Amino acid sequence: MSKVMIIINPSSGREKAGKILPKAEKALGDIYDEVSVRQTEGEGDATDFAKEACEKRFDAVISMGGDGTVNEIVNGLGEQQHRPIFGIIPLGTVNDFARSLGIPLNPNTAIEILKDMHIKESDIGKINDRYFMNVLAVGAIAEATYNVSVDQKTHLGSFAYFIEGAKAMIKKNPFPLTVEHDQGRWMGEAHLLIATMTNSVGGFEQLAPEAEVNDGKLHTFIIKDLSLPFIVKIIPSLMKGEIKGHDEIEYIQTSKLNLSTTDELAVNIDGDEGFLLPFQSNVLHKHLRLFVPGN
């Protein structure tokens, strides 16, 4: 008997999740013998539900929420003996992972994608004992995203992150950083480090346009300058996806990334506050199977 689990965050999508759920249940009910719904009430619930789906050998798990819900589900699926196929009905503010997979941001259209049963393998990342699917970031701008309120995200969308990031740039204090990667070691002072597994970061799809969800790489940018003249200088290149050619930016493609610093800095994991450096991370290549558009 085939079975699918829907994990829904009721607060996502300006609380439209409940209105969309019946359509998702009907569509999936035409494919699977059993449709189970789990509703999150707090942090970590989606991870527990995903682990349950692995233990009970569900055929598929569907996320109805934002990137935070997706991250929790990935943490429930990571390195389990049985991993259901993963589907996403995006309801969040940015939906970076869905963007990188070409999944429509309109939830009703995303439901139609699930009917096609087209599957693609995708990487996920592991950082210490946690998992992530999109981005790691270190620096004042990365920490500023924690200040974005639910109300800001509701009314401003991804622009809310830009506003808080701009405030953080005023401080622009560099920090000492040691980066170990596939080709060796980089040491110096940096204002910001971003390591992305996809081509979408904060809703912006031109930072690493060549990044693919299953290329086995962390596309890493070490930004050594955040002065206003430099920011103005790189904006045209950023819009074209060409910032990796600037002298004040180190660009590294690597399957592993180990970071350390003498400062007290925390890593931003998929947009949420993680733990203090140092950390060790690596790519789990083609670790998950996901429902994606057929084209």
Judge if 72 and 205 occupy the same domain: no
CA distance 115 to 57: 20
Return the pLDDT at 171.
57
- Start-end of H helices in 171-266: 228-240
Whether 290 is in a domain gets the answer no
Judge if 180 and 260 occupy the same domain: yes
Question: Is beta strand 184-190 parallel, antiparallel or unpaired with respect to 192-196?
Answer: unpaired
Judge if 64 and 143 occupy the same domain: no
In this structure, what are the phi and psi dihedrals at residue 138, rounded to the nearest 5 degrees? -135, 130
Judge if 112 and 151 occupy the same domain: no
CATH of the domain at 63: 3.40.50.10330
Per-residue pLDDT of the chain (295 residues; tens, 9 = 90+): 899 999 999 887 666 777 899 999 999 999 999 999 999 999 999 999 999 999 999 999 999 999 999 999 999 999 999 999 999 999 988 899 999 999 999 999 999 999 988 999 999 999 999 999 999 999 876 655 555 555 545 444 444 444 455 555 555 678 999 999 999 999 999 999 999 999 888 766 777 888 999 999 999 999 988 776 666 666 666 666 666 677 788 999 999 999 999 999 999 999 888 999 999 999 999 999 999 998 6
Whether 141 is in a domain gets the answer yes
Whether 289 is in a domain gets the answer no
In this structure, what are the phi and psi dihedrals at residue 240, rounded to the nearest 5 degrees? -95, -5
Tally of domains within the chain: 2
Tell me the one-letter amino acid at 22: P
Contact 193, 222 (CB under 8 A): yes
CATH of the domain at 276: 2.60.200.40
Judge if 88 and 142 occupy the same domain: no
Judge if 244 and 137 occupy the same domain: yes
Residue 194: strand pairing partners: 137, 221
Whether 126 is in a domain gets the answer no
Contact 68, 124 (CB under 8 A): no
Judge if 168 and 267 occupy the same domain: yes
Return the pLDDT at 159.
42
- Short-list 228, 234, 232, 260, CA closest to 247: 234
Return the pLDDT at 273.
86
Whether 204 is in a domain gets the answer yes
Return the pLDDT at 156.
43
CA distance 284 to 291: 18
Contact 171, 204 (CB under 8 A): no
Judge if 251 and 166 occupy the same domain: yes
Which tokens hold the place of 204? 């912006």
Judge if 205 and 174 occupy the same domain: yes
Which tokens hold the place of 26? 């009907």
* Last-in-domain residue among 117, 145, 176: 117
Return the pLDDT at 292.
95
Q: 101: domain range?
A: 3-117
